[in-house]
Amino acid sequence: MSTCSTVSQDLDEPLSGTAPAARTWLLLEQPGPWGAKALTSSHLDPVVGRALENAAKGTGVRVALIRRPGRHADRGTGAERRVYAAHTTPGGVWLRSATVTDPRLLLGLDFAALGRGDRRTFDAVLGGGPHTGAPLALVCTNGKRDRCCALLGRPLAAELAASGVEGVWEVTHLGGHRFSPTMLVLPYGYAYGRITAADVREILHGVREARIEVDGCRGNSAWDRPGQAAELAVRSTAGVDAAEALIVVRTDVVRDGAHGGGAAPGWEVTVAHVDGRHWRVHVAQGAAQPPRPESCGASVLGTPARMEVTAVRELLVTAALAG
């Protein structure tokens, strides 16, 4: 039987505008097995996991568990764990790290401040500081959520680690199982799908030079789905690869069937370059056809929403600022 990722690839489902949305990522190392809802179904105390979930709601922070590639034996509750926090909004990107032995310390964080990009709470509560190592390559491997993540993600993470690629971690959930293997790269927050080990090396080489590879990219997690698609469209159209060059400054809902979109949702997204250039990008929401499994565990076929860029128009700066 075909997997959801095989069907998605055979149908050439587009990747753009499918990244998970989070302005800030909070990552806690948790060895051992993960359940489908890993924060409350792993060897992490489920009371702590549930409290972390609740603390993050509505703040722009996304909490996930990570572990080193390979065997997943739990080293015990007293072991040191790595913790990372990354803010992904261009112009304010940062990546911090800390080491803890008690995950309950994370409950002392000011999640609203983290979501705004204020790193002081991470440093004060956890004794964190700047991450000075390689960029983080987070490969989704949680087979309890979808078997494609285990069948495709775990071998990729293991291959990368065995070949000496630094900064590789397994992560619990990045969404879009049907795009497996999927990966998030920090600090910049761009997600990728259907990647190979060679792709990852090229992506990470670019990140070390503060460049973003567009091929295979699902979008920047700092933006909502229309913003992700619009920003990637500008990168492709204008040849922009600098990591923090573009920012989504405005997203307007298109009403009354503008641009011939009928009753389907649509957006006009304004994207700005740090050099002063602006673009207006029209994004329409379509439905992926024919129906397909959105995950291997889905009981019915679905028609997942897709972000379709129908126009990219560069604006005069004065017109852009006038809205």
pTM score, two decimals? 0.92
Share of the chain above pLDDT 90, in %: 73
> Is the pLDDT confidence value at 314 over 60?
yes
pLDDT at 24: 98
Q: Which of 91, 78, 97, 175 is nearest to 135 (CA)?
A: 97
Distance CA(187)–CA(220), nearest Å, equals 11
> Is the pLDDT confidence value at 169 over 50?
yes
**246-260 pLDDT tens trace:** 999 999 998 645 444
Q: Which of 127, 75, 119 is nearest to 100 (CA)?
A: 127
**117-164 pLDDT tens trace:** 999 999 999 999 999 999 999 999 988 777 888 889 999 999 999 999
**63-77 pLDDT tens trace:** 999 999 987 656 555
